[in-house]
Amino acid sequence: MTAHSLQEAYCYMCPQCPQKFCEERRLRNHLELHASDPNSACHRCRQCDGAFRSALALRRHIDQSRACYSHPFGIKPQMVMEIVLLGD
Number of domains in the chain: 1
Domain that holds residue 43: 3-87
List helix spans (H) across the chain: 3-9, 24-33, 55-64, 77-87
In this prediction, residues 83-87 reach a mean pLDDT of: 64
**Percent of residues, the chain, with pLDDT higher than 70:** 60
Residue 51, strand partner residues: 44
Query: Binning pLDDT at 50, 70 and 90, where does residue 76 land?
Result: low
Query: Binning pLDDT at 50, 70 and 90, where does residue 25 land?
Result: very high
Highest mean pLDDT among 2-16, 27-41, 47-61: 47-61
